[in-house]
Every structure is written in C-alpha cells, then in structure tokens.
C-alpha cells in the first residue's frame, strides 16, 4: 500500500519503543503495525529502536539460563511443526495489510454489527489484555461523549473526524488517556472508518451508552 504523505498525528516514542521491544498487547501491536505501514516517519523510528535493541543484545555478555523444560518444548515444536496460521492474500484497499490479515480481506470482508445511530463496529480477535475494533461512523455523525479509564489509540483508515483536541484524517493516530474527555464527530463527505484499541473500558456520560456498554464491549 502506498505510504501516506500527509500524516500529522503520530505515535509517541513510548509506544514505538514498546512495539520494537515486543512488549505491547496484541491489539496495540496491531494498530502500531497498521500505522507504520502507512507512515514513513514512525516506521523509520520503529526500525531505529529495533536496531538499537538488537545492538544491545549483541553486546550483552551475560548468559541467560534456560527455564526448565524449554529445551523439551522447543524440540516438540520442531517435531510437530509450528502452529498453522491462516493467511489471506493482501490486496490494495482501505485497510492496511496488518488489518487485512485479521479481517480476511478489505472492507467487503468486515462483519459489521450495528451499535446505533448508523454507527457499526467489528471487534477483532485479539488477546484479552486489550481490545481492538473497527468503527464505521457515518459522515457528520457524533460519537457519544466519553472519557477514558486507560489508553485508547484511534487510527483513521478512511475519511476523518474532529474532536475538541484536533482534526484527524487517514493515517493519523489520536492518543487518548484518562485526561482526555471528548466527542468525536465524523467529517462531512465519506464515512469515517477507524481502528481503535483500548486497554480499559471507556467512561460515558450519557445513560443510554452506559447501559449498552457491557453488550457492546466498549
């Protein structure tokens, strides 16, 4: 996929360093991989952190003792073969390659579920320590006013949205934490499609969103 040249909102250094170190939850690893596939700046930064980590490992003279049973487990893996992974042919489209791998294709492969007011979501299968979802927001539609109990990263894949903080278009990432309370509104034109990941539930002000929250897993 062609790199996006007009990205204004990037991932912060802490997230990129954790990505290079392999310490992020699966959902956050996915959104970073999707963003760096679109952003030359963050991809170069992630590669530099990865190179620094590799150099440190090469210069570390301390030996590491294998845990009990690690050799047996490795030999068993070799004998039985690596776990089978389902892969899908990537094709140019709205979804970056890493997201296509989870969806099984581009937009036409997404299994959307309505959540109200024309908004749809598709929760992606990741580990339970964080949640990843694709969001479809009709042009001009506002998301419910909400805050955050943890971190939320939102990557715009199509269209754009605006909140009290700034304007976010394709390739941009908004980083939200417990200090940000906002009401994202999709820009006019085409529907806004985002990849959003969270490590804690959102905090809604309205009664109806709070009632629906357990069922929507947001």
pLDDT tens-digit profile of 107-118? 999 999 998 889
**Residue 39, Cβ density class (10 Å: 0-12 exposed, 13-18 middle, ≥19 buried):** buried
- List, for residues 174-185, the tens digit of each pLDDT value: 988 777 667 889
Per-residue model confidence (pLDDT) at position 160? 96
The answer on pLDDT for 19 being more than 70 is: yes
Measured distance CA(120)–CA(64) in Å, rounded: 48
Give the whole-angstrom CA distance, residue 106 versus residue 98.
Answer: 11
CA distance 153 to 11: 9
Nearest alpha-carbon partner for 206 in 144, 148, 142: 144
Residue-range domains of the chain with CATH = 1-218 (2.60.120.10)
In which band, very low, low, confident or very high, does the pLDDT at 42 lie, cut at 50, 70 and 90?
A: very high
Q: What is the pLDDT of residue 205?
A: 59
Indicate if the pLDDT at residue 131 is higher than 80.
yes
> Helix (H, G, I), strand (E, B), or coil: what is residue 152?
strand
Asked whether the predicted pLDDT for residue 215 surpasses 50, the reply is: no
- Per-residue pLDDT band at 85 (split at 50, 70, 90): very low
CB 42 within 8 A of CB 15: no
Beta-carbon contacts of 78 under 8 Å, excluding residues fewer than 6 positions away, are none
- pTM for this structure? 0.76
Say how far apart CA 30 and CA 133 lie, in whole Å.
11
**Does residue 193 surpass a pLDDT of 90?**
yes
Calculate what percentage of the chain has a pLDDT beyond 70. Answer: 69
């Amino acid at each position: 996929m062609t790199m996006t040249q007009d990205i204004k909102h990037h991932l912060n250094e802490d997230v990129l360093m954790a990505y290079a170190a392999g310490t992020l939850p699966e959902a956050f690893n996915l959104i970073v991989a999707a963003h760096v596939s679109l952003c030359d700046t963050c991809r170069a930064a992630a590669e530099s952190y990865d190179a620094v980590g590799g150099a440190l490992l090469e210069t570390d003279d301390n030996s590491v003792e294998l845990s009990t049973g690690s050799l047996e487990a490795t030999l068993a893996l070799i004998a039985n073969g690596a776990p089978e992974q389902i892969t899908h042919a990537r094709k140019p489209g709205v979804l970056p390659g890493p997201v296509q791998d989870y969806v099984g294709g581009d937009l036409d492969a997404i299994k959307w579920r309505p959540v109200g007011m024309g908004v749809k979501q598709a929760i992606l299968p990741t580990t339970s320590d964080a949640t990843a979802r694709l969001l479809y927001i009709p042009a001009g539609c506002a998301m419910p006013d909400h805050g955050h109990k943890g971190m939320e990263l939102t990557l715009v894949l199509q269209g754009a949205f605006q909140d009290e903080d700034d304007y976010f278009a394709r390739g941009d990432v908004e980083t939200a934490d417990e200090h940000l309370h906002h009401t994202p509104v999709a820009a006019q034109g085409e529907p806004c499609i985002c990849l959003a990941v969270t490590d804690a539930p959102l905090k809604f002000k309205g009664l109806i969103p709070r009632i629906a929250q357990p069922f929507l897993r947001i």
